[in-house]
């Protein structure tokens, strides 16, 4: 049997395979280059960038939890200008797609970031309207359907590249958010960002994170994430990039069956920095063993009762 076809198109974005690294878990894409062959990846999603550099929250910003972790980094980043000068030229040496994730405290800031970067060698923008760990923007935007619509339409209007809206699971009906993203011109949605969680030290009685609450990620959230992808796929005709607790190719296949056309791996990069390479190999082997020629034979093909 020939090599299976893992290629995916999301608007004008062509991914050679559907395995991407998730924002905030792979730095600006270069920090892990000694551990993983970046050329093998379908794409890299950068750490969230804001117009100006941000220091983020004071420590402690990370705590391990059963089958997962809580983080409250608070969008620490070097800002758009330094990214373009110091990181993008190095990233452009690799044969993979570069998706720049943007976080902002106002609609105007999202628009400004896209405007500044849209003519650079960047393949798509992922708009983070879903960070649970900041006081302005973040969830305040991501849990408001009208705001998500406004951010989508205004970023689409100034972008020459596909706009992907990264959704929060901290809402009752995630499909409403996917629908408005589609209606306003998004090429895809990413589902999901982290769940709001909290962990408390029972001796000091202090929260384990300075920010008190944080975003829960890792295998603990995988079934919740698969269900969100399934819900969106059922309700809205838009490409979905699945995220949440993926550690191996079997996990990725669950997301594809639920309706995702690509996936991002986040927390597991910290555990096994070359896991994405292994997942790509595992996928190919699974496809060959099961006589599947193309990823399109799997997407959304869960056999429901
Ligand atoms: C330490 C850490 C930092 C993160 N930073 C960002 C970020 O800057 N922007 C963003 O959109 N998502 C961020 N995320 C969320 C991930 O991209 C991903 O949506 C989430 O962790 C769920 O996937 P996972 O369970 O595979 O980690 C971060 C996650 C972690 C664990």
Cβ atoms within 10 Å, residue 135: 11
Ligand 1 atom closest to Cα of 48? 8
Helix (H, G, I), strand (E, B) or coil at 59: coil
Ligand 1 in reach of 133 Cβ (< 6 A): no
Ligand 1 in reach of 241 Cβ (< 6 A): no
Whether the pLDDT of residue 134 is over 90: the answer is no
Ligand 1 in reach of 13 Cβ (< 6 A): no
Whether the pLDDT of residue 52 is over 90: the answer is yes
Query: Ligand 1: distance of its center to the CA of 301 in Å?
Result: 27
Helix (H, G, I), strand (E, B) or coil at 145: helix
Ligand 1 in reach of 101 Cβ (< 6 A): yes
Fold entry, domain 8-49+75-195+215-297: TIM Barrel (3.20.20)
The beta strand positions in 1-148, using DSSP E, are 8-10, 13-15, 19-21, 43-45, 62-65, 68-71, 97-102, 124-128
Q: Which phi and psi (to 5°) does residue 128 adopt? A: -90, 100
Best residue among 19, 20, 22, 104 to mutate for probing ligand 1, ranked by most atoms within 8 Å of CB: 22
Q: Please provide the average confidence, as pLDDT, over all residues in the chain.
A: 96
**Residue 131: its pLDDT value, please?**
78
Mean pLDDT within 237-246:
98
256 near 213, Cβ under 8 Å? no
Residues across the chain? 305
Residue 291 in tokens = 């006589």
- pTM of this prediction? 0.98
Task: Collect all residues with Cβ–Cβ distance below 8 Å to 64 and sequence separation of at least 6.
Answer: none
Tens of pLDDT, residue by residue over 140-169, are 899 999 999 999 999 999 999 999 999 999
Burial track 137-151 (b if 16+ CB lie within 10 A, e otherwise)? bbbebbbeeebbbbb
Query: Ligand 1: distance of its center to the CA of 265 in Å?
Result: 9
**Residue 214: its pLDDT value, please?**
96
Mean pLDDT within 186-197:
98
Segment (H or E) for 167? strand 163-167
**Residue 1: its pLDDT value, please?**
64
Is there a catalytic annotation at residue 131? yes
Ligand 1 in reach of 221 Cβ (< 6 A): yes
Active site residue: 113, 131, 261, 275, which one?
131
C-alpha to C-alpha distance for 257 and 242, rounded to whole angstroms: 11
Tens of pLDDT, residue by residue over 59-117, are 999 999 999 999 999 999 999 999 999 999 999 999 999 999 999 999 999 999 999 99
Query: Ligand 1: distance of its center to the CA of 22 in Å?
Result: 6
Question: Cis peptide leading into 60, omega within 30 of 0?
Answer: yes
Tens of pLDDT, residue by residue over 254-296, are 999 999 999 999 999 999 999 999 999 999 999 999 999 999 9
Ligand 1 atom closest to Cα of 126? 11
Task: Collect all residues with Cβ–Cβ distance below 8 Å to 293 and sequence separation of at least 6.
Answer: 1, 2, 4, 5, 287
Ligand 1 in reach of 193 Cβ (< 6 A): yes
As a whole-number percent, the residues of the chain with pLDDT over 70 amount to 99
Q: Is 112 exposed, middle or buried (0-12, 13-18, 19+ CB in 10 A)?
A: middle
C-alpha to C-alpha distance for 127 and 186, rounded to whole angstroms: 10
Instruction: Give 217-279 as a DSSP string.
Output: ESGGGHHHHHHHHHHHHHH--S-EEEESS--SHHHHHHHHHHT-SEEEE-THHHH-TTHHHHH
Best residue among 105, 215, 241 to mutate for probing ligand 1, ranked by most atoms within 8 Å of CB: 215
C-alpha to C-alpha distance for 264 and 10, rounded to whole angstroms: 14
Query: Ligand 1: distance of its center to the CA of 23 in Å?
Result: 5
């Amino acid at each position: 049997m020939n090599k299976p076809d893992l290629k995916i198109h999301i608007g004008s974005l062509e991914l050679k395979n559907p395995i991407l690294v998730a924002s905030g878990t792979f730095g600006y894409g270069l920090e892990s280059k000694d551990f993983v062959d970046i050329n093998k990846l379908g794409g890299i999603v950068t750490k969230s960038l804001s117009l100006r550099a941000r220091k983020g929250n004071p420590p402690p910003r990370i705590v391990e939890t059963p089958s997962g972790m809580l983080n409250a980094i608070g969008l620490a980043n070097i800002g758009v200008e330094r990214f373009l000068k110091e990181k993008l030229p190095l990233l452009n040496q690799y044969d993979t797609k570069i998706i720049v994730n943007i976080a902002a405290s106002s609609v105007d800031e999202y628009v400004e970031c896209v405007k500044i970067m849209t003519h650079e060698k960047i393949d798509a923008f992922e708009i983070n309207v879903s960070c649970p760990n900041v006081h302005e923007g973040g969830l305040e935007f991501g849990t408001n359907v009208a705001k998500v619509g406004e951010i989508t339409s205004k970023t689409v209007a100034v972008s020459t590249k596909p706009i992907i809206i990264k959704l929060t699971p901290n809402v009752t009906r995630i499909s409403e958010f996917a629908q408005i993203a589609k209606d306003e011109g998004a090429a895809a949605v990413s589902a999901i960002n982290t769940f709001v969680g909290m962990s408390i030290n029972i001796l000091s009685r202090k929260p384990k994170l300075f920010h008190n609450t944080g975003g829960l990620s890792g295998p603990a959230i995988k079934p919740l994430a698969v269900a969100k992808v399934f819900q969106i796929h059922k309700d809205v005709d838009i490409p979905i990039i699945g995220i949440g607790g993926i550690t191996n190719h079997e996990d990725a296949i669950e997301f594809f069956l639920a309706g995702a056309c690509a996936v991002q791996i986040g927390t597991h990069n910290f555990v096994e920095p070359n896991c994405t390479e292994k997942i790509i190999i595992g996928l190919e082997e699974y496809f060959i063993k099961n006589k599947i020629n193309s990823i399109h034979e799997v997407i959304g093909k869960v056999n429901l009762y």
